[in-house]
Amino acid sequence: MYTLDVISWLTEENLRNMLERYRSLGPFPGIALTFMKSFVPPLPTMLIVGLNAAVYGLWLGFLYSWAGLVAGCLATFLIIRKIASQRFLRKWAQRPKVARAMEWVRRSGFSYVFLLSLFPVGPFVIINLAAGLAGMRLRSYLLALAVGKAVMVFAVSYIGNDAGRFIRNPVEMIYVVLFVLLSLWGVRSIEAYFSKLARSGGSGGGSS
């Protein structure tokens, strides 16, 4: 019930009011919201990143969103890697979706994390956990994550920086819808590619 209450509260108006209310705290609210995305999956990435750009401006909004997302993903990765030997995690890792993600990470870790980081939608929480459980090297993970997220966050920040133009020209919403649909298609295509790669026994950028 509590989870449903939280999800129902996550509206554009409520999030914008919160950012404006605590803006005197500097970058903390914008960074904290995107940081929490890694621990509260229902948080809407596109909405939060777009609002950061609208409240703080394009470049500061981009920086705060990027820093928060990277820090949150990295924290998840490090925590899971630290406790990977725990029994409940080993059992959780046997779930089909997680097991597939771990196999993809072992075979093509850098490419897989980088490509999925480019999209604002997708199972990135699972990827963070799978990368930690699979023992992906920190340097490879962080580089793939940081570069991929930078591209994604800038694209969403650019849209959110002048959201008013979508009110003035509603037809431009088509581009946003296309962006989301292309992101979903991209995630599915990447997962299908790595599934095919795993079945054929190919290898890629791996954990090096």
Q: Please state the domain extents for the chain.
A: 25-195
The structure tokens listed for 110 are: 């850098």
Backbone angles phi, psi at 124, to 5 degrees: -70, -25
User: Average pLDDT per run of 10 along the chain, which is 208 residues long?
Assistant: 49 75 83 88 83 89 95 93 79 77 80 84 80 87 90 85 69 72 75 69 46
The pLDDT, as a whole number, for residue 167 is 64
Q: Give the model confidence (pLDDT) of 74-120 as tens digits.
A: 999 999 888 877 777 777 777 777 787 788 788 778 888 888 888 88
According to DSSP, residue 43 is labeled S
H or E, element range at 61: helix 58-82
Which of 99, 117, 92, 106 lies closest to 38 in space, CA to CA?
117
Contact of 207 with 137, CB cutoff 8 Å: yes
